[in-house]
Structures are given as structure tokens and as C-alpha cells.
Structure 1
Amino acid sequence: MRAVEEVVEDKADPRPVTPAPRRNRADLWAGLNYLALALLVMIQLWRDPNGRVLASNDDDHGVFLFFLAHGERVLFHGDNPFFSDRINVPDGVNMMANTSVLALSLPLAPVTHWFGAGVSVALLLTLGLAGTAFAWYWVLSRHLVTSRVAAWIGGLWCGFAPTMVSHANGHVNFVSQWVLPFIVWQVLRLREPGRHWRGGVILALLVVVQVFINEESLLFTALALGVFVLAYAVMAPARARRDARPLLAGLGVAIAVAGALLAYPLWLQFLGKGNYHGQPFAPDMYATDLASLAGFARQSLAGNAELTRRMSVSGTEDNMFFGPVGLIMIVASVVVLWRSVAARAAAISALVLLIASMGPTLVVFGHRTSVPLPFGLISHVPVIDLVSVTRFAMVPATIAGVLLALATDRLRTFTPRGRRLWQVGLVLALVPLFPKPLPVVEADPLPPFLTQGAWRQYVPADRSLVTVPLPEVTTGRTGVRWSALSGLEYRSPRGYFMGPVNPPSDRTGSWNAPRRFTSDLLWSVREYGRRPALSAGDKARITEDLIFWRAAVVVLIPGSRNEGPLLDTLTSALGEPQQVGGVRLWDVRSLPVPPNE
């Protein structure tokens, strides 16, 4: 195929035909290798997936528990897949405007139903790492390289690069990239004459699946392919003109089919109830540090967490970190492949996305310089303003793995000394990046009040169970986890999700529900341990908020930070609590229920 020929256009020898039995054995061993490594990375969580949380990002671990529980409710209870009323009562959550991973949560709904959302999260993180590695291995080995070893190295890098292991700290959506290699390959194949109908439909279906896994990764892939095509056209204009017609025809078919299938979900996402625009942070808040290109991630064998923190925004965003030898090998791969127009175009695409990931101004080893960067010109463009800037770096990290595989496939053209140097370089690059098991912490067990179903006596179907601390990002993660591991059987106010900060006046994106008097009060008590003297007016506003939340019962989570001041505040507002099933609770079913909107 022409797409293959142009990637490997300077190969001296014809492509050998590997016997099917050997090919199948190689595929099996590659898959088992990747699965074993993924299990090693996730082994700590697998020891008790419903009773442990990932230490580096228990917030996002909790929100994906919710997304998986939502998928279970869609399949087993007939809930709306695109909207949930189980949290953020009474407003609910626009699931299309969140990374609800419906393409993953729905197939795994039986696992979630019978084994718990924690098991589903652990399973998806494990299969995401292994599946992404194997998908790239498959595309590389079938279409781009002749050596199974080269394909294995490429898959290993693409599936277990530091950025992937970092995002395995709770980001189910970002580690599940196994559709993207096939999207890339189908786009390249659209250049083949007579393929625009079939190829366009296949590409559209892959895009639809990816939309319901992670739209952010799809956007990054589209941008990378766009830069690749432009760079390729500049360097090989004659070929580009020849291939433009079938490529554009195929893309037209893909856009039409995908647009028809996604029209309603995307309308809900951008115009439906609970839509928002922008992020709750400035575009330069999460940017890639230039020094991280040659650094080591905290979860790499050679990583040092204290040093990495200077170059990374969080344990889930170690998006570069190739190590010094790894960076040298990537640059060397570009040199080896320099005669290939496609390889040069891929390298340019990686460089452009890398620069974009650095944000509006250059950051070097934690120091923000005054050097302006191009991203500042597009940071407020719609859709672009919805992404976390540093995640653009996931694209060059993946392209690096592809280039490394392509260059390794050229080993037979090297001199004996060159082959030895390349093999030593691969070892020195890959061994320090070997991933360590992700750290976890024990989570508080669900109280008998929930596990024994005592809550059912207090919470009618049209009312909510209010946990204190209130379910919020960072401060109320236990309430989010309780709700998800209980199968979202009861409804609860607030929560951790993306929605408008203060609709309808301000639809800027926020990780929390709009602020209310009681949420601010209880946050302050939990955070600072102060016992406020509540006036009659304060108590009335608390009652007003409980009515708004359709509260049936208020439950104090045992062992919460500043539990004593929280208990005193709730007692002052609501009277003495009851002790039921291991929790203190306040029965407020006597409060009126506002009419449904």
C-alpha cells in the first residue's frame, strides 16, 4: 500500500512474509507481555479494587467510579445515557459534557453490577494500558514495520510511556487509547483510490466509538493528523495533489456519517441542560515544562518524585519525561528516518503539538519565563479552551514510540557497530522508564447504614441523601465514592463533575455545583475547624438549601477531617442526631419537597 511504502520508502530489501504460525505466536507473546506489565502497574489496586483508591488521584478515581456506576444504571435500570439525576440534585449532570466513557461503561455494566464499580475501574485501567500497547503493535506489525521486535518496542512505548502510566492514576479515558491507532491508519488509507466510501464509513464508526471514550484524545489526534498532512503537502506537493481527491472524498463520507450519528449527543453536550464553556483554570496553569523532556517521571524506575514535582503539575500529568537517553534515541530515530517524507512530517507534527503543550509562555524546571509561545494566540478558541494544555504532549509521546519502532526496523541496514550502539541505546532508554506499581491507599469502608440497606427507610425515591462533608472535588470524595459503590441507588446533591459555575449568568466550566450558603459554610468548617455561631437567619438558609436539595436525611461521614466541628455545626442547625448503622444522621423528611421542574 502506498501509505506503507512512503513511510518505509528507503528500505533496501522487500518486505519479508512471516509465516502465519510464527506471526500468531509473536502476537500472542506481545499481548501477554503487555497484559503482564499492565497488571504489574495496577497490582496494588487489584488487591482490593472496591476498598482501595489510587493515592495520586483519588478524586478522578472517584469520578470514574461514578461514570461506571452510571453505565450500570443505564443498562440495568433504563436511565438516560446522556444525563444523570443521581447526583447534583435537583439539577443533575450533563453526561455528554463529562468524560462519561459510555463506550466502556455500558459493555462493562454487568461487571459493575455484580462485582462493583471499583473492579470495573481496575479492569479498564489494566486493559487500557495493555490494549493501547497491543493496538499500536498490531498496526505497526501489519502495516509499517517488518520486524515483530520493532513493533513490540513501538507498542511498549505507546502503551507504557510515562504519560500513559501517569494517567493510569484514575484517568480511564486517557489510558483507553486502543481505538486511536486504527483511526490514524484508516485516515492514511483514505488515500487509496476507490476506498472513500468503505474507508469513510469505517473511519466514522471508529470516531463515534472514540467520542464515547474520550473526545479530548480524538481532538489531539485530529490536530496531529492535520499538521501531518500540511507538513507532508509542503514537502511532497506532487504526491499531496495526487492523493488529495480520494483523501478529501473519504473524509467527507466520514464527516457526514459521524455527524449524523453524533448530532443529537453533541447537541446535548454543547447546547443541552448543564452545558458549559471553558475550563475553571487559566490556560497556562497546566503546561509542559521544557526540562521534563529529559527528566524521569515519578512512576518510572529511575524517577524521583521530589525532582519530578518541579517539572510536572501533578502525578497524573507526567506527560513527557523521556529521560536523557530516551530523548537522544528519539532524536536519533528522526535522523535515521530523515529520508522518509512521512517520518519527517510525523516529527514536525510531534514538535508542533509539543510546543502547544507548553502553553502561552515557556516554563523551564518550574520557572515561568517571559518567553512567549504560540499557544497564547489560540488559547481562547472554542473547543481548544476545553482542554488541559499539557495533555497536547501525549501526542508527541505517542509519535515518539512510532518513530522509535520505524527506526528500529531499519537495524538490518546499519553497520555492525551501528546495530550494537542502537541496541545498547534502546536498553539504556527503556530500562530507566520501566514503570513501578501505582501507589494506593486504603479507603474508608462503607458503613452498615449503606451496606445493610438501612438508608432505604429514610430516603424515598423523590428525595436525596446528603453526606457531610458535601460531595465535592477534593473535599468530599468519600461522599462521591459512597454513592458510586452503592450503585447510585440513592440520589445526592452536589458532587464532582464538570458543569457551569453559576448558570444562567455564568456558564464557565466548573468542577463543582454552583455555590450555596450551606456548601460554603460546611466547606469552611471542614477546612479550618471553626465552630460558627449560627444565627436564626443562618439556620433558615441551611433549611432553604436542604429543601432545594430535596433532602430526606443528612449523614455525617465518620472520620472526616474536623469531624467534631462539623458535628457541632449540624447539631446547632438541625438538633441532636440519631446513631444508625455506624453513622450519625439527621432525619429531615419533615421538610417540604419542592415541585419537580
Structure 2
Amino acid sequence: MEEVVDGAAGSRSETPAPRRRRADPWALLSYAVLSVLVTVQLWRDPNGRVLAGNDDDHGVFLFMLAHGERVLFHGDNPFFSDRLNVPDGVNMMANTSVLALSLPLAPLTHWLGPGFSVALLITLGLAGTAAAWYWVLSRHLVTSRLAAWIGGLWCGFAPTMVSHANGHVNFVSQWLLPFIVWQALRLREPGRAVRGGVILGLLIVAQVFINEESLLFTALALGVFVIAYAVMAPDRARSDARPMAAGLAVAAGVSLAALAYPLWYQFFAKGNYHGQPFAPDMYATDLASIAGFARQSLAGNAELTRHMSVSSTEDNLFFGPAGLVMIVASVVVLWRTVAARAAAVSALVLLIVSMGPVLIVFGRRTGVPLPFGLISHVPIIDLVSVTRFAMVPATIAGVLLALATDRLRGFTPRGRRLWQVGLVLALVPLFPKPLPVVVDDPLPPFLTQGTWRQYVSDDRTLVTVPLPEVTTGRTGMRWVTLSHLEYRTPRGYFMGPVDPPRDDTGSWNAPRRFTSDLLWRVREFGERPQLTASDKARITEDLIFWRAAVVVLVPGSRNEDALLETMTTALGAPQLVGGVQLWDVRSLPVPSPE
């Protein structure tokens, strides 16, 4: 780590010995094998299985990959989709559209399905992140390939990464971040302002189209690191300030020039929103989770973990007791290194921020105020799920562990044995288990045989009951994405304004309507409402608003009988076509486009 600051890494003349170079393919192969092990159950049928830990977000990324396919094969707008949430559509820049991933994989999505691409990206994300950190560590920060391998293993397969692999394609695809960090720190080297700034700017642009949250976390971590280092080594910081500032200015110019329109679209075009649909303290890191075990770790217990985590995709720390001891021991070993201390400070600051405005211990709110309460409503920060800040200390922990292990040769024989035992005790309990999956119902012949085309023209929609909504209408959204977004559908799971133009607060749902509320109650509680003439008129009004051509009951839905009875009362007896019951409403008018 000291080499990052003192410049030794940039000028290192030592060429890795052939033996060390031969270790590289074995390290990369081990990451690939472990990544396949984590995702093996999904690979058995990627288009027919869904990740059980977060089937909703899995569905979101099916949609994102299908959108990328439409951009490449049908010329759709990359920043906007009219296939979901008809008639308003979805601002794709204001969502995690992963365009830097979905566009290159569009041919695979086209021929093998979006489920295949999601499985591939999760697998490559875990292995690629580990490999990227291994590469940066082994080439610039450590001399021991074993130390680099351990660092890459931790950074790529830490509990937080495996947890987010339950559907979060964006958060497991962190393989650009090590290079962003390294290029940013190298800007202090003389003569690198232009070249290094351009490279950094291009990396930033690419990362924006993978995951902006991870980029924000990285920028904040680097900012805290630089401030902490400047306090500890002011003379060196002053000498480095000018070349680094020049390089950052170049990087900012390159990235802003490339991102000006996409960012304008994200924050000001149709479908933009501000803030999150939940309070800042709703998803915060539990202090007890630092030494706990995640659900997907070998030593993990799901029932116990639930008391320390907001969801199976947000187990963002969970180092285990031995892991926590080894991280603290790494800081002690590296304490004389100013850069290592600054990195530890950065990790600690982001850890505290991740705990939200009030300290939580084993699921209990203690009432102890924390600093995040002072910044929770700052623009941009208010778009972040606060517990995810803990991903930063999880990654820094892996880097510190690698740096400390690299000093193993300088330990006493007893110290080496203790360190080796500590690594085993820390890493083995955190070994990841395969991600759990559920088998989804196959698409009905109505879709697979293309029967829907007889009913749904390009200016109309196919409306599924239950409606596509977050948590309650996943099947309807899955149908349209696995059909490559060939037809349009109303509503869906995405981020957009809750009630535009009156309220542009972020929401996971389309603006409420009478029919969406009615069908949600029927589906959730089995209500069998007595529809009045006015109720039927409002349902018809909503179907016109949604440009419906056909309404289809999803077979096997929760409270299916109540849903069938409600829609039959509203629209008359359904037809049985292609394995589904449907109502043909093409006689309804189509509103004129705005």
C-alpha cells in the first residue's frame, strides 16, 4: 500500500519470476471454478429458474438484459423503454440498466435468452472482480502471489459479494473498480496527468453504465483516504496535490463530456425521480453483523442472520469472529504504513455511514444517533440504500489482508504459523454455498407459440392479472422479458416517480390506479369485491389508459379463483386460448398519443 503513495509500484523494475507468473492462470482458474460453484444451480436451467433470495431483482435484470437486446437488434432508445409501464415508459438511465453489460451480451441474450445472460454476468462478475483485484494486487501492491490470491478471493467472494449475487448483476460486476482506484492513485506520478486522466475518465464512463452506486462508494472511499493521508503525511500530500489535481481535472473533463447527455436524461428527462421510497434508516447495517455469518456462508444460519440483515441480498459485512480478528490484526501489522492507516480510516468512516442515522444492534434500535443523520437528505446520497456503504470496508478488508499476508516472510516462525491458522479459521467458515433457486412455471403456449400476436398489435398491450408489480406480479414481468419484450405491458417493477407531476419521489411501482389497487387486494387477501357499475367503468377506463388488447389471467396465481371471479364480473366470461384464460378487449379505443 505504501507503494501507491511513494511511487515504488509505478517504477518497480522487478520482473515477476516465471514461477510466480505460472501461478496466475491457476489463481484465475480457481476464481472461475468457485464462481461456477456459487451459481451452479442457476446454470442447470437459467431461463427456467429464478434466484430464490431475490426473485424480484432477478426479474429486473432479466428486463435490463432484454432491453439491451432490443437496443441492438431493434434500434430502441438505450435510455428509455416503452415496453414496460405503458403508456409512460421507463427512464432507463434512472434505473440500473447495466448498458455496458447488456449491449455486448445482446447477441447471447437474443439467441440464448435473458436468463442465460443474467447467469453468465453473475458468474463472470464474481470471478472477474476477484481476478481484477488479484491482478492489481499482484502487479502493484504485493510480491507474494499467495497474498494476492487471498486478497482477490476475499474481494470477489466476500459474503457481501455472494449475497448480492442473489440477483444484483450490477453489484457483483465490480471488475473495473480496482483499476479505477489504481489509476486515480497513480495520477500523483509526474507526467501522468493527461494519459492517466484520460484512462481514468474512460473507466468512469464505463462504470456509470454498470453501476453508479458502486462508483459513488469508490469516490467517497478515495476521498476519505486522501483526506486521511493528507492529515497523516501533510508534506507528501502537498507535493502530490498538483499533479493529482491536474489528472483529476482531465478525468472529469473526459467523463463529463461523454456523460453529459446520459446524466441529463437520468435526472431531468421523462421518468426521472428524486429520493427513495423508504426512509434512510430503513435499510441500515447492524453492528452485530460485523462478526456474524451471512446466509450464504458455510457457517451461516439464515434464521440467525435475519436478525442482523435487511435481506438476503444485503448481507454486507458478516466477516465472522475469526475474519474480524484477522482484519484487525492486518491493520496492526500494517500500522506503520501511512497509506494502510488511511485505508483503514476510510473503511471505518464508510462503515459508520452504512449504519444509518441510529445505531442498530442485533435488530434492535438503540436510539444512539450516528453521523449519517446529518447527510441523509443530501442529493445523490438520498438515492443510495445506506447499508450498501458497507461494501467498501468489506473490500478494503480484503486489500489489507493481502498486504499483511505479503509480510509473512518477516514474521517469526511462530507468527507465521499463527497467521496461517488465522487465515484458515477466517476463510473456511466464509466459504460460499451455492445460491438457492426456485423452478418457475414454464411460459404458456399462448406465448411460446406466438398466439398472442393474433391479439396484440404494436400500439396495444398485453395485460396480465395479477398486474406486473414489485413482489406481487413477477410472473407478468417475466413473461414479457422472456419473450424478448416483443409486446408491451403496463406497470412493472422499476424505479420511477410515485405520482408525476405532483410527486416525483422515487417509487418501485407505477402510479396507483383503481384497477391496480383492486387487483392487488384480491391477489393478496382473496377479496371478492361486489363491483358496481362505477367500478366497472373505472376498470374499463384503466384498460383504455393501458392501451389493452387482451387481459390474461396468469395460471396458478395466488387467489386465482378470486381474480378470475373479479375479472369475469368486470369483463364477462373469458376465453381459454393457448393454456390461459383471456379477455379480448380490442373493442376498447386506443388513446391518442400525447
TM-score range normalised by the length of the shorter chain: over 0.9
Partner of 1:56, secondary structure, is helix
Deviations 1:336-385 (A, max 9, x none): 00011000000000000000000000000111011000000000000000
Q: Provide the rounded CA distance (Å) in 2 between the counterparts of 1:520 and 1:80.
A: 31
Structure 1 position 22, deviation (Å):
2.8
Q: 2:568 aligns with which of 566, 571, 587?
A: 571
Q: 2:296 aligns with which of 295, 299, 319?
A: 299
Partner of 1:531, secondary structure, is coil
* Structure 1 pair 2–390 and aligned structure 2 pair: CA distance change class (3 A): closer
Q: What amino acid is the match of 2:397?
A: A
Structure 1 position 593, deviation (Å):
0.3
Q: What amino acid is the match of 1:187?
A: A
Tell me if structure 1 keeps the 8 A contact 2:554–2:580.
yes
Counterpart in 1 of 2:421? 424
Tell me if structure 1 keeps the 8 A contact 2:291–2:320.
yes
Deviations 1:488-539 (A, max 9, x none): 0000000000000000010000000000000000000000101101000000
Counterpart in 2 of 1:316? 313
Counterpart in 2 of 1:350? 347
Partner of 1:96, secondary structure, is coil
Counterpart in 2 of 1:506? 503
Q: Provide the rounded CA distance (Å) in 2 between the counterparts of 1:26 and 1:590.
A: 68
Structure 1 position 91, deviation (Å):
0.2
Tell me if structure 2 keeps the 8 A contact 1:6–1:340.
no
Q: What amino acid is the match of 2:184?
A: V
Counterpart in 2 of 1:18? 16
Tell me if structure 2 keeps the 8 A contact 1:150–1:409.
yes
Q: TM-score w.r.t. structure 1 length?
A: 0.98
Q: 1:284 aligns with which of 273, 281, 285?
A: 281
Tell me if structure 2 keeps the 8 A contact 1:7–1:144.
no
Counterpart in 2 of 1:341? 338
Partner of 2:550, secondary structure, is strand
Partner of 2:551, secondary structure, is strand
Structure 1 position 405, deviation (Å):
0.1
Q: 1:484 aligns with which of 477, 481, 484?
A: 481
Tell me if structure 2 keeps the 8 A contact 1:8–1:340.
no
Q: Provide the rounded CA distance (Å) in 2 between the counterparts of 1:342 and 1:530.
A: 62
Structure 1 position 194, deviation (Å):
1.1
Q: What amino acid is the match of 2:589?
A: P
Q: Provide the rounded CA distance (Å) in 2 between the counterparts of 1:103 and 1:3.
A: 32
Q: What amino acid is the match of 2:563?
A: L
Unpaired runs of at least 5, structure 1: none
Q: Provide the rounded CA distance (Å) in 2 between the counterparts of 1:568 and 1:124.
A: 42
Counterpart in 2 of 1:448? 445
Counterpart in 2 of 1:555? 552
Structure 1 position 3, deviation (Å):
4.1
Counterpart in 1 of 2:95? 98
Q: Provide the rounded CA distance (Å) in 1 between the counterparts of 2:269 and 2:502.
A: 16
Counterpart in 1 of 2:45? 48
Q: Provide the rounded CA distance (Å) in 1 between the counterparts of 2:313 and 2:4.
A: 35
* Structure 1 pair 7–129 and aligned structure 2 pair: CA distance change class (3 A): farther
Tell me if structure 2 keeps the 8 A contact 1:3–1:188.
no
Structure 1 position 27, deviation (Å):
1.2
Q: 1:359 aligns with which of 356, 359, 367?
A: 356
Q: What amino acid is the match of 1:149?
A: L
Deviations 1:38-97 (A, max 9, x none): 000000000000000000100000000000000000000000000000000000000000
Tell me if structure 2 keeps the 8 A contact 1:493–1:549.
yes
Partner of 2:53, secondary structure, is coil
Q: Provide the rounded CA distance (Å) in 1 between the counterparts of 2:578 and 2:330.
A: 62
Counterpart in 2 of 1:251? 248
Partner of 1:564, secondary structure, is helix
Structure 1 position 24, deviation (Å):
3.5
Counterpart in 1 of 2:121? 124
Q: Provide the rounded CA distance (Å) in 1 between the counterparts of 2:191 and 2:134.
A: 27
Q: Provide the rounded CA distance (Å) in 2 between the counterparts of 1:548 and 1:238.
A: 65
Q: Are 2:463 and 1:459 aligned?
A: no
Counterpart in 1 of 2:216? 219
Poorly superposed stretches of 4+, deviation over 6 Å? none
- Provide the aligned C-alpha RMSD in A: 1.2
Tell me if structure 2 keeps the 8 A contact 1:180–1:218.
yes
Q: 1:542 aligns with which of 539, 544, 557?
A: 539
Structure 1 position 390, deviation (Å):
0.2
Q: Are 2:572 and 1:594 aligned?
A: no
Q: TM-score w.r.t. structure 2 length?
A: 0.99
Counterpart in 1 of 2:4? 4
Counting only pairs closer than 5 Å after superposition, residues 53-452 of structure 1 correspond to structure 2 as 53-452=50-449
Q: Are 2:527 and 1:530 aligned?
A: yes
Q: What amino acid is the match of 1:526?
A: R
Q: Provide the rounded CA distance (Å) in 2 between the counterparts of 1:275 and 1:30.
A: 43
Tell me if structure 1 keeps the 8 A contact 2:446–2:580.
yes
Structure 1 position 23, deviation (Å):
3.8
Tell me if structure 1 keeps the 8 A contact 2:4–2:185.
no
Q: Provide the rounded CA distance (Å) in 1 between the counterparts of 2:551 and 2:24.
A: 55
Q: What amino acid is the match of 1:588?
A: V
Q: What amino acid is the match of 1:444?
A: D
Partner of 1:404, secondary structure, is helix
Q: What amino acid is the match of 1:361?
A: V
Tell me if structure 2 keeps the 8 A contact 1:7–1:340.
no
Q: Percent identity of the aligned residues?
A: 83
Q: Provide the rounded CA distance (Å) in 2 between the counterparts of 1:543 and 1:93.
A: 24
Tell me if structure 2 keeps the 8 A contact 1:43–1:437.
yes
Partner of 2:276, secondary structure, is coil
Q: What amino acid is the match of 2:379?
A: P
Structure 1 position 420, deviation (Å):
0.4
Q: Provide the rounded CA distance (Å) in 2 between the counterparts of 1:147 and 1:16.
A: 13
Partner of 1:586, secondary structure, is strand
Structure 1 position 17, deviation (Å):
3.7
Tell me if structure 1 keeps the 8 A contact 2:229–2:342.
yes
Deviations 1:193-231 (A, max 9, x none): 111000000000000000000000000000000000000
Structure 1 position 26, deviation (Å):
1.3
Structure 1 position 18, deviation (Å):
2.3
Q: What amino acid is the match of 2:481?
A: A
Partner of 1:287, secondary structure, is coil
Partner of 1:338, secondary structure, is coil
